[in-house]
Amino acid sequence: MKQLFGTDGVRGVANVYPMTTEIAMQLGRAIAFIVKNRVRGNTIVIGKDTRLSGYMLENALAAGICSMGVNVQLVGPLPTPGIAFITTSMRADAGVVISASHNPFQDNGIKIFSADGFKLPDEVEADIEDLIFSQKMAALRPVAEEVGRASRIDDAAGRYIVALKNTFPKDYVLDDFHIVLDCAHGATYKVAPHVFAELGARVTCIGCEPDGTNINAGCGALHPEVMAARVQQLGADIGLALDGDGDRLIVCDEHGAIVDGDHIMAICASELLHRRKLKKKTLVATVMSNMGLEQAMVAMGGQMVRTQVGDRYVVEAMRARGYNFGGEQSGHLVFLDYNTTGDGTLAALQLLAIMIRKRKPLSELAAIMTTFPQILENVRMAVRIAPEQIPGFPEALRACEQRLGSRGRILVRPSGTEPVIRVMTEGEDEAEIAAMAHELCDVIRRADRI
């Protein structure tokens, strides 16, 4: 049973266990131990988003890594996919991201990439925890010239900007586009505006003034209505909203209508199918994606396979089965032909290229799939508990599933990062599935008060 790692690294309130400097230093030591003894490497990249707590965790991680005789390369604020890119392009032996992604600023997290730019598998995360809690590293203390050194990569953002622009067709420009870009006061605030402006777009930026405490606060992919309102106000062509660490994208069309990850996947998968570039004619999505996306893929002559929630599981399925495109409704979009993880800026470039190639506005392209009504409710618990352990809940769930039959589906899952149970109902009749969601959530709330 893992004690530190959740579905996306280690995450929690900064300066509260497990997101303390003590644990960060031990994580640094454990990662360095694995790099030095298994990979025979000597360099680890560390990047972060714009949270205030990033400074203390960055220093603690670097100290832990250097104390094991491994060198550190610091890149400062850079999107998570940018750190994956720098890790591989600099031929580092691992990459570490200090970020809590879409969470509020008081939270923070630590996630790790292997030398190949992919997130660590579960078994390696378990090995890291074993190294920390077993005290196997306690006596390992390189001294004198054997300790590691820390240096800074000053041009990391520039390298990543060039890499992103190289994914855009070389004969295309964005001269005709007015883009509203919301960077969530996060890690993309320097990179993304330059990418779109250098390709010729007129860019109106919001969420590009981080102060350490405003990341994701009423902006970005979690609050796309802000971007949508600005698009309507300015008469812009498209709105792009990224999250705090830049691995998610939510967009809006020229009328301000929100276009989520499912619709973006449908648009991109259709184009890839048309160009015979969608491997095995298959899109990889999660159990949260709308049934309408699945129906759209079948109508296109392709298919969709589902994984459990989490972009890491989407990527694992893609790598294991030889697929090249997948993502999540929440806006994680993974183009394995270009990068190893979800990348909001890269996904936006691919979408814009399709708009140019098709000569159609986003509103027309988004009509490729019909969305089934979907209700998602989150119930916060006093402590983490599995849904099947809640008194009366399994029986209530079975009863709802029997009433719904083949006209829809119900998904219940605990959050991997916080004491929350998520209840999702989907079907043809919105009133019916809303009533079922409320019914199931009420059972959970009653049990939490006992």
Catalytic residues: 101
Other beta carbons within 10 Å of 154: 10
Q: What is the largest CA-CA distance in the chain?
A: 70
**Cis ω before 77 (30° cut-off from 0):** no
Q: In terms of Cα–Cα distance, which of 33, 13, 27, 8 is closest to 133?
A: 27
> Which residues, other chains included, contact 16 with Cβ-Cβ below 8 Å and sequence gap of 6+?
none
Place of tokens 């603690």: 60
Fill in the DSSP letter of residue 213: S
Helix and strand counts by DSSP (H, E) for the chain: 14, 19
Other beta carbons within 10 Å of 176: 11
73 with 46: CB under 8 angstroms? yes
Residue 396 is which amino acid?
A
Query: In whole angstroms, what is the distance from residue 344 CA to residue 425 CA?
Result: 27
348 with 383: CB under 8 angstroms? no
Other beta carbons within 10 Å of 361: 14
Burial class of 175 by CB neighbour count within 10 A (0 to 12, 13 to 18, 19+): exposed
Tokens coding 6: 């959740």
Query: In whole angstroms, what is the distance from residue 69 CA to residue 444 CA?
Result: 49
- In this structure, the strands spanning 71-77 and 43-48 are parallel
Query: In whole angstroms, what is the distance from residue 13 CA to residue 322 CA?
Result: 37
Tokens coding 379: 């119930």
**Cis ω before 18 (30° cut-off from 0):** yes
**Over the Cα atoms of the chain, what is R_g?**
22
335 with 323: CB under 8 angstroms? no
